Structures are given as C-alpha cells and as structure tokens.
Amino acid sequence: MNETIKAILDRRSIRNFKNIPLTDEQIQTFAQVALASPTGMDRQLWIFRLVTRLDLIQAMSDHAMNVFREAGDLVTVDRMRSRHKSIFYGAPLLILIGLPKDASSNLEAGIAVENLAIAAQSMGLASCIIGMASAAFTGDRGDELKDMLDWPGTHDFAISIAIGYPNTTKEAPERHPEKLKRID
Ligand SMILES: Cc1cc2nc3c(=O)[nH]c(=O)nc-3n(C[C@H](O)[C@H](O)[C@H](O)COP(=O)(O)O)c2cc1C
C-alpha cells in the first residue's frame, strides 16, 4: 500500500497530545500544505491562523467552555471535562480556518482541513479536527480573541485542527460499507 493511502487509512482523531512543541520546519510544512489546498476557480478565499501560543490556545478553550456552560449545554461541558482540560487536547499547534462571511458553504475549509490531517499523519504526528472551537468566537470574549488572532471582520470561523504528537491511540470507528455502491 502506498504511503499516502496508508496515512489516510491510519488517521484517527487523537484527543490527547504530548507536551512537545513542533519545529519551525514542521510548522512551515503545514503552512505550505494549507496554502496548497484546492479552491473553486482558484479563488483561495480562506484564511489560516497557525497558533502555537499555548496561553492563547488555552484562553480559547476556556472561553468556549464558558460559552457552553452559559448556554446550559452541560452535556458538552461534561463530555469535554471527561476528555481533557482543553477542547484542543493539549496540542502544541492549532490551525484555524476562516471563510468569507458570505461563503455559500464550508467546503473549501473542509478540503483544507483534511489536507492538513493527512499531512500530519504522514509526518508521524496526529490531529483532531475541532468544530466546537466556533464557540470561542462568540460570547463576551469572542471579539477580543479574534483581535489576538488578527482575525479579519470579513471572515467567519469555519473549522480548526489540533496537531501534535499523539499521547494515546484510538481504534478505527465502525465502517458502513452499505453506504457505498459500485455502479459498473
Ligand atoms: C467537521 C468535523 C468537526 C469535528 N469537531 C470535533 C470537535 O469539536 N471535537 C472533537 O473532539 N472531535 C471533532 N471531530 C472529530 C470527529 O468526532 C471524528 O472525526 C469522528 O468521531 C471519527 O473518528 P476518526 O476521526 O478517528 O475517524 C470533528 C470532525 C469533523 C469532520
């Protein structure tokens, strides 16, 4: 099996990362991978923020948890508490992807985030795609956090991905072959 297919099949959402920073070279690779993602008519309307500041990553997580708590979403609060003290699971790199506010879909952010996930896997790293980070951009601290990320007012958060060295393993989820049909 070729290495790319192996990386796709072996990728798992990892929810506990080692406290080991990534090198500049690794981060540069993710920057290249992000910017190489295909977009419709090559418009490249997304923005990326590659965040290694652990205090900022934790502040985003703490604020997101407060937003869930204040919204009375105790199911999410309890689930996250049982997993890790951060919704980013201690990752040393968080990549946030934004799309123009009037984007008709999140498709191009999804394509970029999967590129990053497969790249991480191929580099001996692990990842977890994190949609719930959207909560960090709402509530009373949302704008302040956007400012700290130099986030433009023209774009909304679309998706994020936490990347680092895995501190745990995970089995593959059940697959559903009945969802797929070959039409020959
Ligand atoms: C769009 C999207 C959003 C996700 N958001 C979260 C999230 O906020 N927190 C989390 O722990 N996992 C999140 N995940 C990971 C999924 O739960 C995970 O991909 C799924 O359970 C399948 O497991 P696997 O990635 O190990 O194959 C997200 C995945 C996707 C594709």
Please work out whether the CB of residue 155 comes within 6 Å of at least one atom of ligand 1: no
**Alpha-carbon distance values, 167 to 113, 119, 125 (Å):** 21, 18, 10
Contact criterion met (CB below 8 Å) for 161 and 17: no
| Of the options 3.30.70.360, 1.20.120.420, 3.40.109.10, 3.40.250.10, the CATH number for the domain spanning 3-168 | 3.40.109.10
Q: Which atom of ligand 1 is nearest to the CA of 170?
A: 26
Q: Where are the alpha helices (DSSP H) in 71-155?
A: 74-83, 107-122, 142-148
Residue 57 φ then ψ, to 5° = -60, -45
Report, as an integer, the average pLDDT of 147-172.
98
Instruction: Work out the number of other CB atoms within 10 angstroms of the CB of residue 178.
Output: 6
Query: Is the distance from the beta carbon of residue 15 to the nearest atom of ligand 1 less than 6 Å?
Result: yes
Q: Which protein residue has the closest C-alpha to ligand 1 atom 12?
A: 130
Q: Is the pTM of this model over 0.85?
A: yes
Secondary structure tally for the chain: helices H, strands E = 6, 4
Q: Per residue in 15-28, pLDDT tens?
A: 999 999 999 999 99
pLDDT band at 145 (very low <50, low <70, confident <90, very high): very high
pLDDT on residue 137: 98
Percent of the chain with pLDDT over 90: 99
Rounded mean pLDDT, 130-149: 98
DSSP state at residue 84: -
For residue 176, the CA-to-ligand 1 centroid distance in Å is: 17
14, 132, 180 from 159: Cα distances, Å? 16, 8, 26
Write out pLDDT tens, residues 45-66. Answer: 999 999 999 999 999 999 999 9
Burial 133-167 (b: 16+ CB within 10 A, else e): bbbbbebebbeebbebbebeeebbbbbbbbbbbbb
Pocket probe mutation, ligand 1, options 15, 128, 134, max atoms within 8 Å of Cβ? 128
Per the prediction, the chain carries an average pLDDT of 97
Q: Is 113 touching ligand 1 by the criterion CB < 6 Å?
A: no
Query: Contacts from 138-143 at CB under 8 Å and sequence distance 24+?
Result: 138/67, 139/63, 139/66, 139/67, 139/70, 141/59, 141/63, 141/66, 142/63
How many whole angstroms from 184 Cα to the centroid of ligand 1? 32
pLDDT score recorded for residue 38:
98
The domains of the chain are located at: 3-168
pLDDT of 163 = 99
What's the gap in Å between 95 CA and the centre of ligand 1?
15
pLDDT tens digits along 24-44 = 999 999 999 999 999 999 999
State the distance from the centre of ligand 1 to the C-alpha of 168, rounded, in angstroms: 16
Per the document, the length of the chain is 184
Q: Which tokens in the block code for residue 176?
A: 């559903």
Protein residue with least CA distance to atom 19, ligand 1? 13
